[in-house]
Structure 1
Amino acid sequence: MTPAPGRLRFEHAHVVSFQERFDEGRAARSSIPRGAHVEYTPRSDRDPLGILETQNAARLADLIPLRTSRMLTSPFAFYRGSAAIQAADLRNGIDTNAEIVICGDAHIANFGLFASPQRTMIFDLNDFDEASYGPWEWDLKRMVTSVVIAAKHKGYSVTDARGAAIASAIAYRDALRSAMQLDALQRFYLAATVTPGSSPFGKKTQKTIDSTLASASNRTSARVMEKITELAPDGTRVIVENPPTLTHVDTTHEEELMDAMREYALTVPSHVALLLSQYEITDVARRVVGVGSVGTRCFILMLTGPRADPLVLQLKEATESVVQQFGGIPRHVLPGGDHQKRGSHNGGRVVSNQRIMQAVSDPFLGYLTVGGFDFYVRQFRDRNVSFDIDALGRQPFTDYVASCGALLARAHAQSPNAAFIAGYIGSSESMVNAVVDWAFAYADQSLADFEALRAAVADGRFTAAPPPA
């Protein structure tokens, strides 16, 4: 019998049910066994140094030696800066063709604490420069590999490193399956709120959490202004340069940035735009950030409010995601208002995907174009802080990486294909062990690439900045 016309449920495409997607995931095990994910076979023509050179060609030339020196600080620092290399390697690996919104750079140093608009403290992913639609396995493998490399850097035995890696993979599996027991709206509101003395972990881990929370309270716009500015003769505050990390821009760049901020105001909610209208830009400087991001264009803007109250915004260049550029995954335009512009603007890509993957996001997130380059905007220093991975003891480290696994699962659970992933992973150790074995193999590959970069500096192919005096 043909349904009567005009009924709403017949006027849009069928929404695939949770059970349908879950069953599709289970069925996929027969064609792509979970154990097959253990395989890592490098291509004979892989060129990790060539990939770094390709990235460097589009960056500020005077900062490339600094990027190289930061990547050579340790094998873990190198891994942090080599998302492009891993994307190129993952491109040729096994995946289930179940794409979701992924971080694209989900290593364990890209998680941290920050303040929500409601002023609660949240633990979540905090870097989305490479965020994109892509294979869920890429995020999981990048995260677990980072656990292995960090554990080895900390001097852990193979057994202890493997134990931590397994803990992170199990946490991902279990948190994803638990999230799938909730409806879509409940998953949407999930958040990891952190308060002193309230975690489910033991005393050592709780002590680390409490001390990190305490340090977060000092990371504010007011503290930034105190630290990096001084009073000018006219009574205004100006940024004190600290080359090469912090330098002023010329007048032309100042004018371009101030003009572009009008475009930015159109990409934030109206209540944020109204708030911003009460501030004026009083200084601008270029700032060097991160490890892998060194050489991309980044600025901080000092804004002053009606009671001389400070607000510091960061403008960070958004280039094409490594998931597309080196991983070969076609770009996916997300639904929502102004989607066509956001679909072609890399700053819009970062902002859209960050809002999807984070439980709560910075209300100042927005994007603009300056001098032909795409940027996204965020508040600089709003009680955001990372855990000192090197300083974590064995149990706090394991608790930390397990928390990262669980929060990555929460982020992945926002995409419709999350039910497929839950069905595919199942409740056994098959996928866990395969991913951990893959991570150990790739950790060896990353170490070899690290040594190759060090040799390339020695023979003059790359230049590294000298260490600070």
Structure 2
Amino acid sequence: MSKKKLPDPALRGERLVQRRNLKMAKSVHAYVRGNTVQFYEWLEGSDRVLPHGPPVWICGDCHVSNIGPLADADGNINVQIRDLDQSVIGNPAHDLIRLGLSLAMAARGSDLPGVVTTKIMEQLIVGYELALRGRSGSSRTMQKRPETIQPVVKRAMRRKWKNLAAERIDGTDPDIPLSKKFWPISAAERNELEALMSSQDVHALATSLSHRDAKDKVEMLDAAYWVKGCSSLGLLRYAVLLRVGESKDPESSLCLIDVKEAVRSAAPRATNTAIPKNNALRIIEGAIHLAPNLGERMLAGLIQRKSVFLRELLPQDLKIDIEHLDQDQAMEVATYLGNVVGQAHARQMAADDRKRWLQELNRNRPKTIDTPSWLWRSVVELVQAHEGAYLEHCRRFANLPH
């Protein structure tokens, strides 16, 4: 897309909706990732009785790509849930079903036979239940990281600013070049972003990393509308480049802030629970409980009178992309990801709650597979519903210009 064809800020809405529809048509797995609303519409309309686990903060959109390595402010790296836009205090069973659906779609995308999907669901539960079998965070509750995922974590440990810049903004210069990923913003948007970036809260966020000084000057260098993600296309989304301190070394001085509109979660929340009414604060609170590495470097704000949340993107932040897996890899990944989600849930539960939830998960196991019947049947129904809806989506948008 040439710069001449980049949309005017006032006219970008239609182009973004078109981009979202095309992105969701690329594969059924992409369709599932971008259509959280359909998942919860099915959940609400289904007559299936699900177990009610202890009300805890859940991801709400727990698919494979929303889990990955995250760095904390001191540079320590852990694999955690990395997208909390849909987070609420809710039923942990919803995260299990959503992750099960994502893994089943990944298996179909890898041309694995259906019998492997049954094994994947079994291993998902094995990893999840392991996290409940003892004191939260103890080594005996943690699943060993599989070889399939280990390279992603090692790559995260090696990454520097130049890797982030090359991947996110097409260069290491202190600006954001306009492109198909970055569109121009209006003067009003720039003024609001400059005001937000000059706040004391953003200064504290930008200087919070261990190699920065709280007295460092923070300056906004550039900003652009960020055409990113799938479910977020059509919402406010900005990339903002900051300089922190006087150093000319980009590794220590440049800072990329992701500013994203926060909207109401589609995930049902538990009754009689205290959740922030402000959607940005809700998302940050969810991150603090589910992904501490991320939650400690997030901030709420306002742009165009809309609630937004900010986070500094670090080179170590990566997502787990599963494009092709063999049978053994698929089962190892399912066990590990189930354990990551289980750890996020279990650290919020008292010992008695973990014990009761574990007992509930062990009820109603069919004789043919070692997976709770409610999880297996839910995933089967969701696969059927999403594959049909995906084909209809492709038919509707087949003639859109690419």
Same fold, TM exceeding 0.5?
Answer: yes
The answer (yes or no) to whether the contact 2:64–2:321 under 8 Å persists in 1 is no
> Could you tell me the percent identity over the aligned residues?
16
**How big is the shift at 1:310?**
0.8
Is 1:170 the counterpart of 2:126? The answer is: yes
- Deviation by residue 1:349-390 (Cα, 9 ceiling, x = unmatched): 111101101253354211101111111111123311223301
- Deviation by residue 1:35-56 (Cα, 9 ceiling, x = unmatched): xxxxxxxxxxxxxxxxxxxxxx
The answer (yes or no) to whether the contact 1:302–1:313 under 8 Å persists in 2 is yes
> Are residues 271 and 239 of structure 1, via their aligned partners in 2, closer, same or farther at CA, if it must alter by over 3 Å?
closer
**How big is the shift at 1:139?**
1.0
Q: For residues 214 and 170 of structure 1, what CA distance do their matches in structure 2 show?
A: 25
> Are residues 133 and 252 of structure 1, via their aligned partners in 2, closer, same or farther at CA, if it must alter by over 3 Å?
same
Q: For residues 367 and 190 of structure 1, what CA distance do their matches in structure 2 show?
A: 32
The answer (yes or no) to whether the contact 1:169–1:436 under 8 Å persists in 2 is no
The residue number in structure 2 matching 1:21 is none
Is 1:72 the counterpart of 2:25? The answer is: yes
- Deviation by residue 1:208-233 (Cα, 9 ceiling, x = unmatched): 444323432465444344663679xx
Q: For residues 363 and 313 of structure 1, what CA distance do their matches in structure 2 show?
A: 14
The residue number in structure 2 matching 1:4 is none
AA aligned to 2:189 is H
Q: For residues 357 and 203 of structure 2, what CA distance do their matches in structure 1 show?
A: 33
> Are residues 403 and 380 of structure 1, via their aligned partners in 2, closer, same or farther at CA, if it must alter by over 3 Å?
same
- Deviation by residue 1:424-448 (Cα, 9 ceiling, x = unmatched): 1237845534312321221111101
Q: For residues 170 and 222 of structure 2, what CA distance do their matches in structure 1 show?
A: 10
AA aligned to 1:347 is A
Question: More displaced, 115-124 or 403-412?
Answer: 115-124
The answer (yes or no) to whether the contact 1:102–1:136 under 8 Å persists in 2 is yes
Correspondence 1:63-212 to 2 at 5 A: 63-93=16-46, 94-98=49-53, 99-176=55-132, 178=133, 181-182=134-135, 187=136, 200=144, 205-206=146-147, 208-212=148-152
AA aligned to 1:250 is S
Is 1:353 the counterpart of 2:286? The answer is: yes
> Are residues 174 and 362 of structure 1, via their aligned partners in 2, closer, same or farther at CA, if it must alter by over 3 Å?
closer
Q: For residues 429 and 97 of structure 1, what CA distance do their matches in structure 2 show?
A: 16
**How big is the shift at 1:97?**
4.3
Q: For residues 227 and 138 of structure 2, what CA distance do their matches in structure 1 show?
A: 34
**How big is the shift at 1:112?**
0.8
Q: For residues 124 and 154 of structure 2, what CA distance do their matches in structure 1 show?
A: 26
Q: RMSD of the TM alignment (CA)?
A: 3.0
Q: Please give the TM-score of this superposition, normalised by the length of structure 2.
A: 0.82
Match of 1:333 among 274, 283, 307: 274
**How big is the shift at 1:420?**
3.6
**How big is the shift at 1:91?**
2.1
The answer (yes or no) to whether the contact 1:264–1:368 under 8 Å persists in 2 is no
The residue number in structure 2 matching 1:312 is 256
The residue number in structure 2 matching 1:455 is 395
Runs (5+) with no aligned partner, structure 1: 1-58, 335-342
The answer (yes or no) to whether the contact 1:68–1:465 under 8 Å persists in 2 is no
**How big is the shift at 1:284?**
0.5
Q: For residues 138 and 233 of structure 2, what CA distance do their matches in structure 1 show?
A: 33
Q: For residues 302 and 218 of structure 1, what CA distance do their matches in structure 2 show?
A: 22
Q: What SS class does the counterpart of residue 291 from structure 1 fall into?
A: coil
The answer (yes or no) to whether the contact 1:229–1:237 under 8 Å persists in 2 is no
Q: For residues 209 and 146 of structure 1, what CA distance do their matches in structure 2 show?
A: 17
Is 1:392 the counterpart of 2:332? The answer is: no
The residue number in structure 2 matching 1:412 is 345
The residue number in structure 2 matching 1:322 is 266
The residue number in structure 1 matching 2:230 is 291
Q: What SS class does the counterpart of residue 302 from structure 2 fall into?
A: strand
> Are residues 297 and 383 of structure 1, via their aligned partners in 2, closer, same or farther at CA, if it must alter by over 3 Å?
same
Q: What SS class does the counterpart of residue 239 from structure 1 fall into?
A: coil
Is 1:377 the counterpart of 2:335? The answer is: no
Correspondence 1:26-41 to 2 at 5 A: none
The answer (yes or no) to whether the contact 1:76–1:153 under 8 Å persists in 2 is yes
Match of 1:251 among 187, 197, 203: 187
Match of 1:422 among 346, 351, 358: 358
Runs (5+) with no aligned partner, structure 2: 1-11
Q: What SS class does the counterpart of residue 238 from structure 1 fall into?
A: coil
Q: For residues 92 and 124 of structure 1, what CA distance do their matches in structure 2 show?
A: 31
Q: What SS class does the counterpart of residue 73 from structure 1 fall into?
A: coil
Q: For residues 270 and 300 of structure 1, what CA distance do their matches in structure 2 show?
A: 14
Aligned residues, how many?
A: 371
Q: What SS class does the counterpart of residue 143 from structure 1 fall into?
A: helix
> Are residues 241 and 97 of structure 1, via their aligned partners in 2, closer, same or farther at CA, if it must alter by over 3 Å?
same
Is 1:401 the counterpart of 2:343? The answer is: no
Q: For residues 215 and 233 of structure 2, what CA distance do their matches in structure 1 show?
A: 29
Q: For residues 191 and 224 of structure 1, what CA distance do their matches in structure 2 show?
A: 32
> Are residues 149 and 320 of structure 1, via their aligned partners in 2, closer, same or farther at CA, if it must alter by over 3 Å?
same
Question: More displaced, 118-127 or 358-367?
Answer: 358-367
The answer (yes or no) to whether the contact 1:283–1:303 under 8 Å persists in 2 is yes
Question: More displaced, 147-156 or 361-370?
Answer: 361-370
- Deviation by residue 1:114-154 (Cα, 9 ceiling, x = unmatched): 22333232111111010001222211111111111110111
Q: Please give the TM-score of this superposition, normalised by the length of structure 1.
A: 0.71
Q: Greater Rg, structure 1 or structure 2?
A: 1
Q: For residues 311 and 320 of structure 1, what CA distance do their matches in structure 2 show?
A: 28
Correspondence 1:15-30 to 2 at 5 A: none
